[in-house]
Amino acid sequence: MNVLEMYPWITPLLWLIVVISIFWSYHSFRSKRYSMLVLSGMLQTILSPLFAFTIGPILLALGLTQFYMGIVNAKRVKAVRHD
């Protein structure tokens, strides 16, 4: 957290990354690209501790949910394609 205090320009950049990752995950889910959904879930989970006092818990929940949904749907799509 000291890094955020030392370099105040990082916080708006992190907000921008969070907003882009949320739109990225929505687009990935709609286009059925579940591996990209897993990556965006990982990104949001990694960024959540940096926003511990604002949207961190919500971002953690979104990230874990997207990570889980990406893995489950990717396995389901592979199982359907092999049958």
Q: At residue 51, does pLDDT exceed 90?
A: no
Q: What is the pLDDT averaged over residues 60-81? A: 84
CA pair distance 39, 25, nearest whole angstrom: 9
CA pair distance 79, 83, nearest whole angstrom: 7
Stated pTM of the model: 0.79
Which of the four pLDDT bands, split at 50, 70 and 90, describes residue 60?
very high
pLDDT in tens, 14-37: 899 999 999 999 998 899 888 899
pLDDT in tens, 3-15: 778 888 888 998 9
Structure tokens at 57: 């818990």
Q: Which of 26, 21, 22, 29 is nearest to 74 (CA)?
A: 29
Residue where the block lists tokens 């879930």: 41
The span from the first CA to the last CA of the chain, in angstroms, equals 50
